[in-house]
Chain A
Amino acid sequence: MKLPHDSAHNHVQGLSEYVDDRPLLKNELFVDVFYSTRAHAEIKKISFDKVLAHKNIVAVFTGHDLHHNLWGTIFKDQPLLATDKVQFAGEPIALIVGSDLADCQRAKQLVEIEYNDLPKVMSIQEARSKKSFIADARFIKRGDAKEAIKSAPHKLSGRITIQGADHFYLESQVSIAYPLEDGQIEIHSSSQHPTETQHVVAHALGIPDKDVVCIVKRMGGGFGGKESQAAPFAAMAALCAQKLNRPVRIVLTKDDDMIMTGKRNPFENDFEVGFDENGRILGLDVQLYSDAGAYADLSTSIMERAMLHSDNAYYIPHMHVTGQVCKTNHHPHTAFRGFGGPKGVATIELIIERIAHALNKDPLEIRKLNVYSDIENRNMTHYGQKFENNCLPKLFEKLEADCNYQARRVAIQKFNRENHQYIKGLSMTAVKFGISFTTRFLNQANAMVIIHQDGSLQISTGATEMGQGVNARISQMVTSELGLPRHQARVMPTRTDKNANTSPTAASSGTDLNGAAALLATRKIKFRLSEFASKLLKTPSDRWASKTAGLGTEPEIELEKPNLDVNDPNEGAIWPTGIATYFGILFKDGMVYHEDQPEKKIAFSNLILEAYLNRIGLSDYAHYKIPGIEFNKLSGQGNAFLYFTQGVACSEVTLNKDTGELKVDATDILMDLGRPVNEALDIGQVAGAFIQGMGWVTTENLFYNDQGLLLSHAPSTYKIPSVQDTPRHFCIKLLENEENYANVRGTKAVGEPPLLLALSVWAAVNNALMSLPHFESAPPQIKIPATNEEILRNIHPDLFKMWDA
């Protein structure tokens, strides 16, 4: 099914409502956030006198006005508003409330503040030397990596520097808080995690969860940046609304959003690898260090995923991974599509490139030699989970042939010998992305399905819509189960008074979790409707309730088994269709009938009316939890994931030797996405994630001053890919895979994995540089992102040396 996004027709007309599109109420106020410009300092003195004297300013609030000032998803360590001390440039300090947003912004410049600077930690290196850490180091170990490296015929060691990236969701952080009777607060937020937003607001204001409802209609992009970090801004708006008893709107400018909010965690990873003369890896010791910024946020979980992905597609018999989260005075870094995965994967993919360089072999040969395989039992991950349904060898073989890899390799070698101004590189990298939250309790969801008397449906889940099409997929699953067109169901805004205790829409799990829950809720109703229909269809239609209920002349149809209680969304379903059948009743094309009597049909909407009149419940609620997740974080062992989404990509790049400019000439992607609910939406996710990842590894450069204040805080200075940067040839194909029995309807999660395939672009840059004579003995040292400047530095190290002094 390739139906459009369920909101597409509204998107194109500008009719889709985002938080800031809600009509302004007459007494509504705006907030602007005053934040620190110092990395680490005591606040000696602060005065808002001039702010309050500015026209249209109503109030100023600080951390002292909050009931609880600390929040945090994993550790409650972060002040909503810093009071005595700031720990990063961009840290919120005060809320300036007024009737005109521009005046709030002008008045903000009138805050008088004096700081007393404290020693600061601005890099992973500094944090390591000062032992400035968050939580203890974690380990994942298999075998004896040190010994395996020591006894290996070849060894290599090195470091990879990986910078962060801004989410650059188009819609900046935004919330509106409406004060309601009895001290209740209604929050409209652009949040991936309404439940947490509700909890953070309630906690900050000192009111019970029952008095806060968080509503998320849609986001203008999230990408992880609104998983934890939407909540504090909601709490800020709520504080002002509570204090002033007026609706309050907080809409960040892109600049302030980028300065205040955390990014993808920077990493600096050290590795030592031992391998044989063919390039087969014998042992790997990798130490991951991440920059968390000033507070924990999600960094420990992000590190965990980085450690779990340091093998990527490759079987490494002896492996030792260490992960240490560093505390610095940067904005607190957070989830970003892929979480820790890209940082683990970048490391091992670089190691492969280095091994190829050392042995003077094609990197693809090294990849294929090391790929996970059922042959010789090379299919157990370093954390002790057996890798089932491994498509990687097939993906490599197929893409190598489809994209004409070997012939292009020869052509590129010739090009690089002959061309004076340009060099080319080619690389194929892979992804094996574990699907599930690594924190077990997050792997649950609930959903409510309502069928109205006309046969139309409303679906409510904890999933939030940020463009990925989770609503479209869920409604397709539900309506197909009932044999209805998709437009017969509407997925309602996510509300914490309908679906509570939900998990963030994150970890690519939105459809897996919420789709399964919605399908289970649908099946509960379908189960009842099926028994009901089987009895109704045996009754002459002139005795149906629609004709007799008012008179009460007929007995009610009663159900013998009104409840279905299952957790597996595939239980009872026929595998090829994924649709469950009960009591022999089929739901098809808006009609309902017994499989043995297809000629005797009742329209779905008529069945619903009859069911209602017979007092059959037409709404239901279901809870779903992913089975079999048992990963022990302390031992680093266990089944961390339900299954793996896999893929490969081959990218070709051209570098300009005068300027370092990079052009991606071609990218071919082949992915295993199981059996997509909506292939068009899945392809869209692949393309979007890839280009987003390409930005991270090429042009997106976060540039800070010495206080850690972000200077590249707008698209004029922070360059995400534009339409002209897409690969000239860009081909995305899906592998047929009918065998993902673990997940709802045999689908696979798609949100994050393709982002990691953008590392093929970065590896291709590396590959191009390796053709330069000065890299014959020692390989290039290229960080992420490979900006034009970074590339040119590698092309002309001698010229840069002249000027760097």
Chain B
Amino acid sequence: MRKTITFYLNGQRCDVEAADASMMLADYLRYQKSLTGTKVVCAEGDCGACSVLRYFPHSKGTDADRFLAINSCLAPVATLDGSHVLTVESLKDDSRLHESQQSMVDCHGSQCGFCTPGFVMAYAGLCEEKLSRNEKVISEKECKNSTTGNLCRCTGYEAIITAGTKMDLTKEKSLKDRYHSAEIQKELESVFNQSVGLENSEYQYFAPKTAQEACDYLSSHQDVRIIASGTDLGVVHNKRKLELTRLMSLHLINDFYAITEDKNIITVGARVTINEFRHFVKNKIPELAHYIDLFASPQIKNNATVIGNVANASPIGDTPPALLALNAEIHLQSTKGSRQIPLHEFFLDYRKTAKAKDELITAISFKLPEKNQILKLYKTSIRKDLDISTVNLGILASADAGTIKQITIAAGGIAAIPLRLKKTEQFLMGKKLDAAMIDQAIQIAHSEFKPLSDVRASASYRRVLMSNYLRRFFSEVQV
């Protein structure tokens, strides 16, 4: 078992012990490595000033082969085991600025400059993506989508968007080619073959090689937290509401990176990121892919896992209503064996789930919607992008000439858990939708939940949103 975390930073190997491994990457860069180009503003993944690029050779899927932007403020150094990280300091090639830098200079994309390294890194990530596909022209939409996770308070973004579109990729060599040699790749692969255990008086961290090892560890260490990328735990840690001192990471377990389709069943492994999930369902369930576009930021989606979003059981998480509507099943494993339960039985109460302390979530699976089924996913938030839902709603239904044959409705932001509206579903089964029936269904729906007023919205707003969504859905089905 290894006693250090190993990763590469701007082409240099870093072997890190417990004390540094427990730091957030941004702090490690700024205070241990004097790489102060990376800035921290919000420490919660909502501004992108801390963006760095990360290549993780062990992931699978569309993005597996390139450097991706992530938030360094939320990434405990331990989660970078086996990765190669590039910071803004790495971009300049001898005396030549990277296109993401030069274009920002030429197009007046920086004012106060504090957010600038983050934007530059997001654009460097976009350049890597384009270069990996051998595409040379960058659209305005790609610029906006790649910087949705970055806030700027000075420029009004116009100059930044222009800078993005003017990056000349014919001049640029990929950072992967510049920094990630075959030797580095080989070393990271060898790192990956061994489990890791770190320990000092304040910190304990374990990363097993197999699910069985993970279950064994859990059965004897039931207070340990399972950490994937830290995009959620990192926030509570940074806000000093929780100390991440006893952790287990599943990043060395190969199988957990798999996302598969077998006989119309999609199975998503515990380490599959939100973005890989989106890639996978893009053509199979376009509505779901479109909905995921409104989920957090690219930096978060590049790193956060689908399972993490489900496991934290937030009532305002974005994947649960969609997965509930799709009748997903959650796969649990412990030393006692494996079981599969419907997702709606998983959420018990506010942040409480049916997962036993010694259990591990290994995957989540659901059936692809059938041709005659309609899937609709709705989300409203204060700001359209990079915002937490005020209300989100998923509905999967099939209807025949306005008569409901089958329906699942699930919503977030209206109760202590992501909620299935079962009474409403039952009421609607076999009913022919007309104006009166729709009114009645909406009335029943409202009897199933009691939303709160909070920082995001009043209870009334949540009620009215639910009414309007349901009415919109039913009137579309009715036609």
Contacts and interface: CB of A to CB of B under 8 A. Distances in A.
Interface of A: 2, 4-5, 7-18, 20-21, 23-24, 102, 105-106, 109, 167-172, 218-223, 253-255, 421, 466-469, 657-661, 663, 680-681, 683-684, 687-692, 699, 701, 703, 711-712, 714-717, 719-726, 730, 732, 787-789, 792-793, 796, 799-800, 802-804
Contacts of B177: none
B387 A14 contact: no
Interface residues of B, number: 82
A803 B464 contact: yes
Given A5-B108, A170-B115, A467-B113, 15 more contacts: A12-B102, A12-B104, A21-B36, A170-B153, A220-B39, A660-B380, A661-B380, A684-B111, A684-B156, A722-B383, A722-B386, A723-B143, A723-B147, A799-B463, A799-B468
B155 A688 contact: yes
A800 B386 CA distance: 27
A10 B111 CA distance: 11
A255 B388 CA distance: 17
Interface stretch (B43-51, B57-65, B343-351): B43-51
Contacts of B459: 803
B112 A658 contact: no
Contacts of A657: 468
Given A687-B158, A789-B461, A13 B151 contact: no
A2 B387 CA distance: 36
Interface in B242-291: none
A interface majority secondary structure: loop
A717 B456 contact: yes
B240 A13 contact: no
A653 to B, nearest CB: 13
A12 B116 contact: yes
Contacts of B468: 657-659, 796, 799
A220 B113 contact: yes
A220 B112 contact: yes
Contact of A699 (B36, B147, B383): B383
A800 B97 contact: no
Given A23-B34, A221-B114, A254-B42, A711 B455 contact: yes
Contacts of B342: none
B101 to A, nearest CB: 4
A67 to B, nearest CB: 32
B106 A800 contact: no
Nearest to A711: B455
A170 B151 contact: yes
B117 interface: yes
Contacts of B100: 12
Contacts of B35: 14
B467 interface: yes
B156 A105 contact: no
A723 B157 contact: yes
Contacts of A688: 111, 153-156
Contacts of A11: 104, 110, 113, 116-117
B105 A168 contact: no
16 contacts: A4-B105, A7-B113, A8-B104, A12-B116, A13-B91, A14-B38, A168-B151, A168-B153, A468-B111, A660-B461, A714-B42, A715-B46, A719-B383, A725-B383, A788-B380, A792-B465
Nearest to B388: A716
B14 interface: no
Interface centre among A13, A703, A792, A799 (most CB of B within 10 A): A13
A690 B154 CA distance: 10
B309 to A, nearest CB: 15
B108 A726 contact: no
Contacts, number: 248
Interface in B118-155: 120, 143-144, 147-148, 150-155
Contacts of A699: 382-383
Contacts of B385: 722, 724-725
B446 to A, nearest CB: 9
A12 B120 contact: yes
| 7 nearest A-B pairs in the assembled complex, by CB-CB distance | A14-B37, A467-B112, A220-B114, A11-B113, A691-B156, A467-B111, A687-B156
Given A13-B101, A24-B31, A170-B115, A467 B108 contact: no
Contacts of B49: 170
B409 interface: no
Nearest to A465: B112
A169 B113 CA distance: 11
A16 B113 contact: yes
B interface majority secondary structure: loop
Contacts of B460: 800, 803-804
Interface string B445-479: 00000000011111111011101110110000000
Nearest to B446: A803
B148 A722 contact: yes
A171 B112 contact: yes
Contacts of B113: 5, 7-8, 10-11, 16, 218, 220, 467
B104 A722 contact: no
B159 interface: yes
B92 interface: yes
A658 B144 contact: no
A724 B158 contact: no
B101 A803 contact: no
B88 interface: yes
B387 A171 contact: no
B433 to A, nearest CB: 17
B382 A787 contact: yes
Contacts of A171: 39, 41, 112, 114
A13 B101 CA distance: 7
B43 A253 contact: yes
B164 to A, nearest CB: 9
A7 B100 CA distance: 16
Contacts of A468: 111
B151 A720 contact: yes
Contacts of A803: 459-460, 463-464
B33 to A, nearest CB: 12
B339 interface: no
Interface in B157-188: 157-161
Contacts of A796: 464, 468
B111 A5 contact: yes
A723 to B, nearest CB: 5
B105 A8 contact: yes
B97 A13 contact: yes
B341 to A, nearest CB: 31
Given A170-B151, A690-B156, A701-B382, A12 B161 contact: no
Contacts of B43: 253-254
B17 to A, nearest CB: 18
B151 A715 contact: yes
A24 B112 CA distance: 23
A684 B159 contact: yes
Contacts of B472: 421, 658
Contacts of B101: 9, 12-13
A717 B455 contact: yes
A171 B472 CA distance: 43
Nearest to B146: A723
B370 interface: no
B41 A12 contact: no
Contacts of B36: 14, 17, 20-21
A384 B106 CA distance: 45
Nearest to B382: A719
Interface in B55-104: 87-89, 91-92, 97, 100-102, 104
B384 interface: yes
B221 interface: no
Nearest to A789: B461
B464 A692 contact: no
B464 A661 contact: no
A8 B151 contact: no
A10 B153 CA distance: 18
Contact of B157 (A10, A712, A726, A793): A726
B46 A716 contact: yes
